[in-house]
């Protein structure tokens, strides 16, 4: 696939900032695929923004006023990264925030983007309706890229998955049918699209090239064939 926006970041920066499959490529396919485009100048929540590279991309490449919300990253570190890219606090705002207790006014955001973290908290059927949608304007869009499975196989996980991940870790990962069922239980939201993303293998290949313990740990499963069972699920929703 071609990624003109993602490839504006040099590969060393990408390797130093991603915390899983290449966030930049996932973000670009998610936003440029099925569903309405987010208008430039929109106020957007980057939920679970990690080290901030997805937020920098939303602000720099898409012209979105981005709130980079993450519980585990340091907002000051992220702001220094943003400033190093020439971004100001009028373009991107780092916030330390728990996804279950977001510190924003209701109806504050035009859209939400969440790449590779929704499966940690969104598995709760009450999460979307009670703890995320209230912060989105009526008619606002939600774009989610969720680590998933081709088919749920928790009863008998293949050996290639168990090389790197425990049964407890695999419980965070489900297939499209499972996610459609969870999301469809929420009133006040329209499902625009749920689909398998095309860039999963490429995004994983970038991740396992990284020189850190987490990437090295995941590499063993990928090399054993895990990507025959794993995918990434793109979900596009509209708040009614």
Is 157 part of any domain? no
Is 120 part of any domain? yes
> How many domains is the chain partitioned into structurally?
1
Is 104 part of any domain? yes
Is 165 part of any domain? no
Alpha-carbon distance of 73 to 52, in angstroms, equals 8
The torsion angles phi and psi of 113, rounded to 5 degrees, stand at -120, 130
Is 11 part of any domain? yes
Is 212 part of any domain? no
Whether the pLDDT of residue 88 is over 90: the answer is yes
Residues 157-207 pLDDT 10s: 999 999 999 999 999 999 999 999 999 999 999 999 999 999 999 999 999
Pairing of strands 109-115, 136-149: parallel
Domain span including residue 134: 6-152+172-204+229-239
Is 72 part of any domain? yes
CATH, residue 110: 3.40.50.150
Contact by Cβ (8 Å): 25, 1: yes
Is 69 part of any domain? yes
Residues 97-110 pLDDT 10s: 999 999 999 999 99
């Amino acid at each position: 696939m071609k990624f003109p926006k993602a490839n504006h970041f040099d590969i060393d920066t990408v390797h130093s900032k991603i915390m899983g499959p290449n966030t930049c490529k996932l973000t670009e396919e998610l936003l440029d695929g099925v569903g309405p485009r987010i208008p430039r100048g929109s106020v957007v929540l980057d939920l679970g923004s990690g080290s901030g590279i997805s937020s920098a991309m939303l602000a720099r490449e898409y012209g979105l006023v981005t709130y980079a919300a993450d519980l585990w990253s340091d907002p000051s570190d992220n702001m220094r990264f943003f400033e190093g890219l020439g971004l100001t606090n009028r373009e991107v705002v780092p916030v330390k925030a728990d996804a279950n207790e977001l510190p924003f006014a209701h109806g504050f955001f035009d859209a939400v983007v969440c790449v590779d973290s929704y499966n940690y908290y969104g598995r709760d059927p009450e999460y979307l309706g009670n703890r995320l949608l209230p912060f989105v304007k009526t008619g606002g869009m939600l774009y989610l890229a969720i680590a998933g499975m081709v088919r749920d196989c928790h009863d008998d996980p293949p050996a290639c998955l168990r090389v790197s991940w425990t049964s407890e870790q695999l419980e965070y990962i489900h297939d499209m049918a499972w996610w459609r069922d969870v999301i469809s239980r929420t009133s006040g939201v329209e499902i625009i699209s749920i689909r398998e993303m095309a860039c999963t293998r490429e995004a994983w290949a970038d991740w396992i090239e990284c020189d850190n313990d987490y990437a090295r740990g995941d590499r063993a499963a990928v090399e054993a064939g895990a990507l025959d069972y794993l995918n990434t699920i793109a979900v596009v929703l509209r708040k009614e």
